[in-house]
Amino acid sequence: MEYEQDPVAETSNNVFRKTVIAVIVLYVLGSAYFLYSLGSRLNKVEADQKAAIQTVEQSNKILMDRLGLTETSLKQSTEVLQSKLTRAQREAAAHDAALLKQQQETAQQLQQSDQKLSSVSTDLGGVKTDLTGARSDITATRNDLDATKKKLESTIGDLGVQSGLIAHTRDDLEVLKHKGDRNIYEFTLSKSTKRPTPVGTVSLQLKKVDARKGKFTLNVVADDRTIEKKDKNVAEPLQFYSGRDRMLYEVVVFSADKNSISGYLSTPKGAPQPGVIAQ
């Protein structure tokens, strides 16, 4: 007698099998997904580790390069410092040698000076003896200078005639005026003046002046004639004759500037005088 399967039991078995199969499939799929996810994470971690290792290696390389440069610079600085120290030592040795030589020379000079002082002290007696004679010579020389000074105050004019006293300054000119030996007409001539300037009974015109050399050129207009006094010197008597009696006139210049000269005209007491004396 055959047993018939229970439909309900068969259905339950089918459901159970399907459930088991579904669970197995889900497990397999879950495992596959987990393995895939784990593999991806492992790959990412490995890539990150490689990148970190490369970064560390690059940093180490840069650090080593810098350390190498620092070591080279330190070596160069040490060599430069050593060179400077050696040169300073040589210079100090040379300075010490020069100082020692100078001290020796100074000592030698002091010794020579002592010897000269001894010699000078020995000669002092002779010098004192000669002082009396020297004073006498100085007195004689002073007398000669006084005589020479008097000669210089009275000199020869440009015509070769002995001149009277010569005034070298305005103060000297005032002395001559007070002496009253001759007529004195003071003047100042400018090179810019185009016409002759009346001075006493004559006229004077400055043509050229060299203040640095003390030279000048001027024209003297007297008795309707012009007399050129060319390249004359300051304090040199410029002589000419004027008037009916042909009296000796003198022009003396005692200062010369860039464009002008100052001086005076000296005429004899008996010479004609202008109606208005220009001074």
Domain annotation covers residue 46: yes
- Asked whether residue 146 is assigned to any structural domain, the reply reads no
Domain limit, last residue, from 123, 140, 172: 123
Residue 129 lies in a domain: no
Last residue of a domain, one of 103, 123, 143: 123
Q: Are residues 16 and 117 in the same domain?
A: yes
In a domain, 19, yes or no: yes
Distance of alpha carbon 263 from alpha carbon 168, whole angstroms: 9
Residue 124 pLDDT:
62
Give the pLDDT of residue 3.
47
Instruction: Note whether 45 and 161 are same-domain residues.
Output: no
The whole-model pTM stands at 0.46
Amino acid 229: pLDDT: 97
| Residue 263: CATH number of its domain | 2.60.98
pLDDT value, residue 89: 84
Our count of domains for the chain comes to 2
Residue 177 has a pLDDT of 92
Domain boundary among 123, 147, 169: 123
Task: Tell me whether residue 134 is in a domain.
Answer: no
Per-residue pLDDT of the chain (279 residues; tens, 9 = 90+): 444 556 666 777 788 888 888 888 888 888 888 888 888 888 888 888 888 888 888 887 888 778 776 778 778 878 888 888 888 888 888 887 888 888 888 888 888 877 877 776 666 666 566 666 667 666 765 665 454 344 446 688 888 888 878 999 999 999 999 999 999 999 999 999 999 999 999 999 999 999 999 999 999 999 999 999 999 999 999 999 998 899 999 999 999 999 999 999 999 998 998 864 444
Range of the domain at 213: 157-267
Check whether residue 173 and residue 246 sit in a common domain: yes
The reply to whether 90 and 186 lie within a common domain is no
Q: Are residues 253 and 161 in the same domain?
A: yes
Compute CA 206 distance to the chain's CA centroid, rounded to the nearest angstrom. 42
118 and 76 share one domain = yes
